Structure 1
Amino acid sequence: MKITAITAWQVDLPLKEGRYSWSNGNFVEVFDATVVAIETDAGITGYAECCPLGSAYLPSYARGVRSGLEELAPKLIGQDPTNLGEINRVMDAALRGHPYIKAPLDIACWDILGKQAGMPVYKLLGGAAQEKVALYRAISQEEPEKMAGKIAGYSAEGYTKFQLKVGGNADDDIARIRACREILKPSDILVADANTGWTRAEAARVVAAVSDLDVYIEQPCPTYEECVSIRRRTARPFVLDEVITGPADLVRGLSEDAMDIINLKISKVGGLTKARLMRDLCVASGIPMTIEDTWGGDIVTATIAHLARSTPEEFCFSATDFNSYGTREIATGAPKRVDGFMTASDAPGLGVVPLIDTFGAPVLHIT
């Protein structure tokens, strides 16, 4: 089997709530996603999606996905998409870094492999380790009372895990954490996610002020070293996200006892091939993961669901159903939230069919 063409479309993903806000005043109102199709001479087409969280979150941005695809796609024409190790070696040799650009190409090849094998991707990633995956809900940064009110609403939809967007003024963040923890059930999980937004001094103040609460502290500061400094000052469970960008960072964090949990974002690490490697290393090391991505719609949500479903429940801290945040359906067959859970399709590949007729003209077509 050989790759014969790679096509990409730009797709807008508006939000139901109108705006998603996080640390340092960052926000997005309409997400800019790229949907990728890889065609083969066997008549099998694989699909994937990549959607950076704006341009101020990680070293990634929406137009960079498409620019990078223009660079990488010609190198993959003629390659065997089911030879995933070689696909990744070719991409890494052709373009240093930029894992988020490589991710949709890798994922589309997994979709092809599943379709060729007649198996869902989760079986190729290790098989079903859980039948349904617990979801968390991200709570956009607002005033403490508004955030607490949203948590109450989402609790009614079945969510029991909540990721609170903090990383602003330390006093305001302390109030946000306290207001939200107060309305939750004792069994509910609350994560205070600063998204690198605090200085070390601010983070030290916050973790001291909430030391009496049942709350997880996530990515308080911009650098690994600053985060480890804060970890040493708190007994709260500690999550690392933005600074765990690949296997080497994960190995360092494990060796230095830098975290209790990681957020494993599939596009941040370069796709399912490398995410699976990191997932298996976490499982072997006893580290739970939130399995997710930077953002996305139906195809990203399906990809998350397959990796999460193949992860043992005790190591799958939570996952994300991004398609429930938006107003636009971009594929049929995607997972749907039911009482705070989702599951991956049993159909071959990712199990989704993109609604290509709604995308408009392609922005890239390489043969």
Structure 2
Amino acid sequence: MRITDARVILTCPGRNFVTLKIVTEDGVTGVGDATLNGRELAVAAYLREHVVPVLIGRDAARIEDTWQYLYKGAYWRRGPVTMTAIAAVDTALWDIKGKVAGLPVYQLLGGRSREGVTVYGHAHGETVEGLLAEISRYAGSGYRAVRVQSGVPGLSSVYGVGTPGVTYEPASSPVPAEAVWDTERYLDHLPRVFADVRAEFGPGLKLLHDVHHRLTPIEAARLGRSLEPYALTWLEDPVPAELQEGFRLIRRHTTTPLAVGEVFNSLWDCRQLISEQLVDYIRATVVHAGGITHLRRIFDLAAIHQVRSGSHGATDLSPVCMAAALHVDIAIPNFGLQEYLPHSAETDAVFPHGYHFEGGYLHPSETPGLGVDIDEELAARYPYRPAALPVNRLRDGTLHDW
């Protein structure tokens, strides 16, 4: 079953996506997400110039061998561009494998470990009143878990907080927008926000919060301790993860569970965090961590050390990635949570899919393969549009983690 064609498709039905579509000599097709938010063209060029030429003629059934060929054969290993490109190929080949077998991909991964995938949505508000209304909307829709992001008094903009009722999309202009950050105001305000949320919704709703890498380890420890009375399911990305030992300091000072990993590209980015049990959830995702093949390796290591999954799943990942993530989520023994934000109607039309939200859970498609495709004719009506992620500065002008 040789590969005869591989097409890189850029489209922007509201936001930019990169998709790889592989075709075999038997006419079977598979799709893989290759979206790297704000750096889409880098991955598209990597695929077109360096990957697609070597795929033609290869056996589509040899998923592991192809993964190793693209990883070891490049010599320059890892990194977000390389691993996203590999992920696109890997995911498309799993899609083909499922179609040939006549089974949804999760059956090839060992079958169901649960009936549905628990997901969380993003509740945000400039004010606490607005935030509570957003949380109520999610809870009323059947969500069992909600990420809580609030405006901070004195700051004009804060990560994760946008227009109420509208999906937050930070990559909105060709040139990066700049924001001002104040750690002390944030640390002072956030515990009061969670006190109000718990008072309103009680202990049943799972609550999460994303720090977005903005604190030092001791600041993160201080925040984690101050949030302990409100029983967060996790505190996400409290510090930049390049210095993994920083999580050891946080662990010494708080029992608030920690999640990290949406910017991780490989097992080596999180090996120490997992093996030393410095985090509770790994948020690596199919598209940025080398596809289904490599993500499963990460989650298998995590399972041994009682660390659960919590894959990234915001709208910067296409429905192709979400479909693939759900097949992994439903199969692995150590699933934790799955981030899920519904895409726009335009995006859903470009990427017809069979996964669905019902009874508070997301369910993968039961059709052979991933259960998702791309309408190439419709995709062509939405040309690529440059869009950069913002940057952050402290009040004195120092560049800070966004």
Q: Please tell me the TM-score bracket, short chain as reference.
A: 0.7 to 0.9
Distance 2:6 2:222 in 1: 50
Task: Tell me the equivalent position of 1:347.
Answer: 367
Task: Tell me the equivalent position of 1:257.
Answer: 277
Task: Tell me the equivalent position of 1:133.
Answer: 117
Task: Tell me the equivalent position of 2:190.
Answer: 173
Distance 1:148 1:209 in 2: 20
Deviation at 1:140, TM superposition (A): 4.5
Q: Is the 8 A contact 2:247 2:279 kept in 1?
A: no
Deviation at 1:220, TM superposition (A): 0.3
> Which of structures 1 and 2 has the bigger CA Rg?
2
Q: 2:345 aligns with which of 303, 321, 327?
A: 327
TM-score after normalising by structure 2? 0.77
Task: Tell me the equivalent position of 2:27.
Answer: 43
The total of aligned residue pairs comes to: 339
Task: Tell me the equivalent position of 1:3.
Answer: 3
Task: Tell me the equivalent position of 2:400.
Answer: none
Q: 2:96 aligns with which of 112, 117, 121?
A: 112
Q: Is the 8 A contact 2:124 2:134 kept in 1?
A: no
1:285-314 Cα offsets, whole Å, 9 max, x none, are: 3222113446323222211111111123xx
What does 1:154-169 align with in structure 2 at a 5 Å threshold? 154-165=138-149, 169=186
Structure 1, unpaired ranges of 5+: 15-30, 56-60
Report the secondary structure of 2:278's partner residue.
Answer: coil
Q: Is the 8 A contact 2:118 2:337 kept in 1?
A: yes
Q: 1:149 aligns with which of 133, 143, 153?
A: 133
Does residue 81 of the first structure (1) align with residue 65 of the second (2)?
A: no
Q: Is the 8 A contact 2:262 2:311 kept in 1?
A: no
Task: Tell me the equivalent position of 2:396.
Answer: none
Instruction: Classify 1:75/1:200 alpha carbon distance in 2 versus 1 (closer, same or farther; 3 Å).
Output: same
Distance 2:84 2:195 in 1: 35
Question: Which runs of 4 or more aligned residues in structure 1 lie more than 6 Å from their structure 2 counterparts after TM superposition?
Answer: 361-364
Report the secondary structure of 1:10's partner residue.
Answer: strand
Task: Tell me the equivalent position of 1:236.
Answer: 256
Instruction: Classify 1:142/1:202 alpha carbon distance in 2 versus 1 (closer, same or farther; 3 Å).
Output: farther
Deviation at 1:272, TM superposition (A): 0.5
Instruction: Classify 1:214/1:250 alpha carbon distance in 2 versus 1 (closer, same or farther; 3 Å).
Output: same
Task: Tell me the equivalent position of 2:336.
Answer: 317
Distance 2:371 2:55 in 1: 23
Deviation at 1:274, TM superposition (A): 0.3
Q: Percent identity?
A: 25
Instruction: Classify 1:85/1:361 alpha carbon distance in 2 versus 1 (closer, same or farther; 3 Å).
Output: farther
Instruction: Classify 1:176/1:290 alpha carbon distance in 2 versus 1 (closer, same or farther; 3 Å).
Output: same
Distance 1:243 1:321 in 2: 17
Distance 1:176 1:63 in 2: 39
Q: Is the 8 A contact 1:268 1:293 kept in 2?
A: no
Q: Is the 8 A contact 1:122 1:310 kept in 2?
A: yes
Deviation at 1:363, TM superposition (A): 9.0
Report the secondary structure of 1:164's partner residue.
Answer: strand
Q: Is the 8 A contact 2:225 2:255 kept in 1?
A: no
Task: Tell me the equivalent position of 2:107.
Answer: 123
Distance 1:238 1:192 in 2: 10
Distance 1:64 1:178 in 2: 43
Distance 1:67 1:307 in 2: 28
Instruction: Classify 1:297/1:255 alpha carbon distance in 2 versus 1 (closer, same or farther; 3 Å).
Output: closer
Distance 1:217 1:320 in 2: 14
Deviation at 1:319, TM superposition (A): 1.4
Distance 1:266 1:153 in 2: 29
